[in-house]
């Protein structure tokens, strides 16, 4: 199994009209929160459902915890909260958890302990004996999360886990995900909510139009461009045109008295000291230089645009 709990090699599921997901190769490191990002309809849920054996792959291979995705073993230590979750609404929350414990072959003693733990964990301890049909959407999502955790899984697939929750509920789920990670669990988080992924994920994969665009450590992905914000004075008619080998893009943000603030996109990290030298050589007074960290939205758009540009060029 190595260090990766989920590995796929060109995993493909294509529907009529070539929709679905294509040639997805990913490695999910153990003990991480892995964000699987993409716009609606990008193929995220199709990929997860293929991994879980709910739909058959068209081609490619994949393993979960070292077992091929089509095998029952691959699902033994896996929990899953589907995106469009629906549970038998004639059941009570407790009955639902009991049913899933039976499916996971927990004995009756283990079932009792686990069900109480989980109802406590998702804040439904006093509502466990109510029918699911009487639950609010948020409560249904909580019982869904409890259900996903019944077998004390090593890998947990959460497909849009906070979509029906209010801000407090979202915060609680984020905390729950962090707690699970602390316990060594691997969480595969499917989401189109960038802020959510940005807050809790260590690793991110971006998918668009069924194809994987990029994956990797979030910190590494965030350094796709070196961007700095500088505040300086003392240079008249400041222009970065003469520094085109190190400054790729420049944008004036504001002017306060004699001070000008600029946001600069540099060629590489090494361009920062070169930029400082060039500015001081022009007698500029540098008041501030702040390296900008790109948020996930920037990264997401950067990669999406890059793919679309590449497709545009290829189609010309």
Between residues 76 and 263, which has the closer beta carbon with respect to other proteins? 76
- Least distance (Å) between residue 95 CB and other proteins: 8
Of residues 59 and 282, the one with the C-beta less far from other proteins: 59
Smallest separation, CB 146 to other proteins (Å): 11
CA torsion, points 237, 240, 241, 245, in degrees to nearest 10?
160
Residue (72 or 182) nearer to other proteins, CB: 72
Binding residues (CB under 8 A) for other proteins: these are 49, 52-56, 72-73, 75-76, 78, 80-82, 84-88, 90-91, 99-100, 102-105, 144, 147-148, 151, 157
- Residue whose CB is less far from other proteins, 91 or 238: 91
Where helices occur in the chain by DSSP H, the ranges are: 44-51, 93-103, 108-121, 137-148, 167-182, 194-200, 218-222, 271-281, 296-315
CB of 133 to other proteins, least distance (A): 11
Give counts: helices (H), strands (E), the chain: 9, 15
- The span from the CA of 256 to the CA of 237, in Å, is 15
CB of 159 to other proteins, least distance (A): 9
State the nearest-atom distance from the C-beta of 69 to other proteins, in Å: 11
Residue 81's φ and ψ, nearest 5 degrees, are -110, 110
Q: Which residues contact 170 (CB under 8 A, 6 or more apart)?
A: 162, 196
Cβ distance 85 to 144 under 8 Å? yes
Which is closer to other proteins, CB of 89 or CB of 166?
Answer: 89
CB of 56 to other proteins, least distance (A): 6
Nearest alpha carbon to residue 155 among 45, 66, 43: 66
How far is Cα 176 from Cα 279, in angstroms, rounded to an integer? 48
Residue 190 or 226: which CB sits closer to other proteins? Answer: 190
In contact, 242 and 279? CB cutoff 8 Å = no
């Amino acid at each position: 199994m190595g260090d990766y709990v989920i590995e796929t090699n060109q995993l493909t599921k294509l529907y009529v009209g070539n929709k679905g997901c294509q040639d997805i190769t990913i490695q999910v490191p153990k003990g991480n929160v892995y964000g699987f990002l993409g716009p609606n309809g990008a193929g995220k849920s199709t990929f997860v459902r293929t991994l879980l054996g709910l739909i058959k792959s068209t081609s490619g291979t994949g393993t979960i915890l070292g077992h091929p995705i089509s095998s029952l073993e691959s699902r033994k230590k896996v929990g899953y909260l589907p995106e469009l979750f629906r549970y038998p609404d004639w059941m009570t929350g407790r009955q639902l958890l009991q049913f899933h414990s039976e499916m996971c072959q927990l004995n009756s003693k283990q079932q009792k302990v686990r069900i109480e733990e989980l109802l406590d964990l998702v804040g439904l301890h006093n509502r466990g004996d109510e029918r699911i049909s009487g639950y609010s959407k948020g409560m249904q999502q909580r019982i869904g999360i409890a259900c996903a955790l019944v077998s004390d899984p090593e890998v947990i697939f959460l497909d849009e886990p906070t979509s029906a929750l209010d801000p407090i509920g979202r915060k609680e789920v984020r905390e729950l995900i962090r707690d699970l990670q602390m316990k060594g669990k691997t969480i595969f988080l499917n989401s189109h909510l960038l802020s959510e992924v940005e807050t809790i994920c260590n690793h991110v994969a971006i998918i668009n139009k069924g194809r994987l665009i990029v994956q990797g450590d979030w910190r590494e992905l965030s350094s796709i461009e070196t961007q700095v914000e500088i505040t300086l004075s003392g240079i008249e008619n400041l222009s970065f045109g003469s520094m085109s080998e190190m400054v790729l893009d420049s944008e004036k943000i504001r002017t306060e008295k004699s001070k000008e603030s600029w946001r600069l996109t540099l060629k590489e990290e090494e361009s920062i000291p070169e930029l400082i030298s060039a500015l001081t050589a022009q007698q500029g007074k540098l008041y501030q230089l702040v390296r900008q960290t790109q948020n996930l939205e920037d990264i997401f758009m950067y990669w999406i645009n890059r793919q679309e540009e590449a497709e545009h060029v290829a189609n010309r």
